[in-house]
Structure 1
Amino acid sequence: MIDANTSLIALLGNPISHSLSPRMHMAAISHLGLNICYLAFCVPESRFESAFCGLEALGAMGANITIPFKERAFALVDHSDISAEATGAVNTIVFAENGSVGYNTDVIGIKEALKSLGHTSGSALLLGAGGASRAALHVLAESGFSPIWIVNRSEDRVQKLIKGLKKRLPDAEIEVLPFGNFPPSPSVVINATSLGLQGNPYPEGFVDSLLGAADCAKVLDLVYSPHGATPLVDAARRRGMAAIDGIEVLLHQGAAAFELFTKEKAPLDVMRRAIESRSGGEEA
């Protein structure tokens, strides 16, 4: 029961109705008997800063941040963990006595997902240059994937992403490709865009062209679907390619965030069961 002593954790994003984060976190909260409520809020893009300040003013414990606000959240927090500094994006905020602290637990989620695919080295193709891409590129470069090709509609945004990474990992071999152009035979493909999320379909022929070029790659789609496999994962599996969606990323980034919020060990099995019968979207 929610009462005056109930603490609040929020999820801020747009869109947000697809997210399984509330189900996952509330299952963990209930299992541990904590007096916390985890609520999702769809925030207009022009009101994100106001929403952030409102949560802090209300005394919320913290917040998860999903598309399209991760980079804006990084600019708002008072302090940044090394994971946030390394990526320039924040998906988890803890409101503390000495100010807000930003973290990027997507890094943990993506590392665990790549392990589950059984691939931790080789070449990589990354789709996107937004907040999720920042975590993905950091993981790929830090893990020694080389070369790393990035495909995105806006080259300016890609160059900004690369410039930030090169400050920390100057030897990373990264190449930018025009949108719709793909390298032959990358070892791993990561979709870190919102393509495939409800209401945002891939351009016609895009998936076939991508998978035709990446014929033997393993595929990680940071998007997840309310109805099973995402279009990218489904198409990859039909070609006999190993492919997983964003559920594994969601689970592990969520468990890391839960521990930051509550200072309790996350009940990983409980959280996994809560999202296995899915009805939700992206990596948060």
Structure 2
Amino acid sequence: MTERIDGHTILIGLMAYPIRHSMSPMMHNNAFAKLGLNYAYLAFDITNDKLSDAVKAIRTLDMRGSNVSMPNKQKIIPYLDKLDPAAKLCGAVNTIVNDDGILTGYTTDGTGFMKSLEDENLDIRGKKMTLSGAGGAGTAIAVQAALDGVAEISIFNAKDKFWDNAERNVDIINKKTNCKATLHTLEDREDFRSEIADSTIYCDSTGVGMKPLEDETLVIDPGWFRKDIIVYDTVYAPRTTKLMKVAQKAGVTHVFNGLGMVLEQGAEAFKLWTGKSMPVEYIRELLFKEDK
């Protein structure tokens, strides 16, 4: 790393909280080194109240851009100059590109999610998904899945600050895509169980399962899962979440954490910043080596 950094090194950031667990710095810095690109990627603890100053720093320091994660994916939008069509539809941003002081927001989470399933030779087009969560990642996943041809999405959310966003997601999907979306409350456990039982894939896009909620899961009973359902947790720290353990106890064949999504959404962002393709297989080997 020190051999690459000089007076011409271009800075890219990651703004989120908490963020010290992130695999993104390792992923991007190794990709830069592999391709001989003079960039450096650093993580910054940024909460909503620091967003204004953080965005100013992108312009002031002439950073090439930044990734954005919880809790900032929606709150950051008013500070940007433009949104790409997918980010506008999602109402969430996870990647910022700085072109001569013009900041454009993109979302690569949804494409990363769908590509990660494709990497596993799984196709959910024309099928039903049950999705918990309607924050930045959940929104991107729902919208992209609908755009890519998923037939039906049952979105579950608690009656919390994201409920209005969940309503918006359902409305947009039903109006702008051929997918049928419905909204359900997580408090109705029987409805939750029933919708999962009728789905090809269950995806949890909430923060449940990561610190400080690493010992919790929205699905407690292994009996909720068929062996042939796909169970996907967007959390990747810890590598095996409580939800994944429940699915494994049920004998589910296809159980995933969020590393595949992180890899593929990162590859999309990498290309936006550098114009070059990330060496995906090389980075995959680094990301997944702890799982071997």
Instruction: State the TM-score, normalizing by the size of structure 1.
Output: 0.89
Other-structure match for 1:123: 128
Structure 2: unaligned runs, 5 residues or longer = none
Q: 2:184 aligns with which of 177, 195, 209?
A: 177
Structure 1: unaligned runs, 5 residues or longer = 280-284
- Please give the alpha-carbon distance, in whole angstroms, between the structure 1 residues aligned to 2:168 and 2:61: 35
Q: Is 1:7 the equivalent of 2:15? A: no
Say whether the 8 Å CA contact 2:59–2:101 is kept in structure 1.
no
- Residues 74 and 163 of structure 1: CA distance in aligned 2, closer, same or farther (over 3 Å): farther
- Please give the alpha-carbon distance, in whole angstroms, between the structure 1 residues aligned to 2:136 and 2:71: 7
Other-structure match for 2:234: 222
Other-structure match for 2:88: 85
- Please give the alpha-carbon distance, in whole angstroms, between the structure 1 residues aligned to 2:84 and 2:47: 27
Say whether the 8 Å CA contact 2:270–2:278 is kept in structure 1.
yes
- Residues 168 and 146 of structure 1: CA distance in aligned 2, closer, same or farther (over 3 Å): same
Q: Is 1:33 the equivalent of 2:7? A: no
Other-structure match for 2:208: 195
Q: How far does residue 202 in structure 1 lie from its aligned partner after superposition?
A: 6.0
Higher relative contact order (CA 8 A, sep 6+): 1
Matches within 5 A, 1:1-284: 1=2, 2-97=5-100, 99-115=102-118, 116=120, 118-121=122-125, 122-154=127-159, 155-169=163-177, 171-180=178-187, 181=189, 182=192, 183=195, 184-201=197-214, 203=216, 206-209=218-221, 211-215=222-226, 216-226=228-238, 228-241=239-252, 242-278=254-290
Q: How far does residue 230 in structure 1 lie from its aligned partner after superposition?
A: 1.7
- Residues 272 and 203 of structure 1: CA distance in aligned 2, closer, same or farther (over 3 Å): closer
Say whether the 8 Å CA contact 2:173–2:181 is kept in structure 1.
no
Runs of 4 or more, structure 1, over 6 Å off, are none
Say whether the 8 Å CA contact 2:62–2:101 is kept in structure 1.
no
Q: How far does residue 117 in structure 1 lie from its aligned partner after superposition?
A: 5.8
What is the number of residues matched between the two proteins? Answer: 275
Say whether the 8 Å CA contact 1:113–1:220 is kept in structure 2.
no
Cα deviations across residues 32-70 of structure 1 (Å, max 9, x unaligned)?
122211000011331112211212211001101111111
- Residues 93 and 239 of structure 1: CA distance in aligned 2, closer, same or farther (over 3 Å): same
Say whether the 8 Å CA contact 2:220–2:243 is kept in structure 1.
no
Instruction: Give SS of 2:286's match.
Output: helix
Q: How far does residue 238 in structure 1 lie from its aligned partner after superposition?
A: 2.2
- Residues 203 and 251 of structure 1: CA distance in aligned 2, closer, same or farther (over 3 Å): closer
Cα deviations across residues 177-230 of structure 1 (Å, max 9, x unaligned)?
2214312331111111111112124657x3224x5334342111111124x322
- Please give the alpha-carbon distance, in whole angstroms, between the structure 2 residues aligned to 1:117 and 1:195: 27
Instruction: Give SS of 1:89's match.
Output: coil
Q: How far does residue 80 in structure 1 lie from its aligned partner after superposition?
A: 1.5
- Please give the alpha-carbon distance, in whole angstroms, between the structure 1 residues aligned to 2:33 and 2:100: 26
Q: Percent identity among equivalent residues?
A: 31
Other-structure match for 1:282: none
Q: How far does residue 107 in structure 1 lie from its aligned partner after superposition?
A: 2.0
Instruction: State the TM-score, normalizing by the size of structure 2.
Output: 0.87
Q: How far does residue 148 in structure 1 lie from its aligned partner after superposition?
A: 1.4
Say whether the 8 Å CA contact 1:78–1:100 is kept in structure 2.
yes
Q: Which amino acid aligns with 2:224?
A: A
Q: How far does residue 232 in structure 1 lie from its aligned partner after superposition?
A: 1.3
Cα deviations across residues 128-182 of structure 1 (Å, max 9, x unaligned)?
010001111112222333331111113333112223334422x432222221431
- Please give the alpha-carbon distance, in whole angstroms, between the structure 1 residues aligned to 2:289 and 2:117: 22
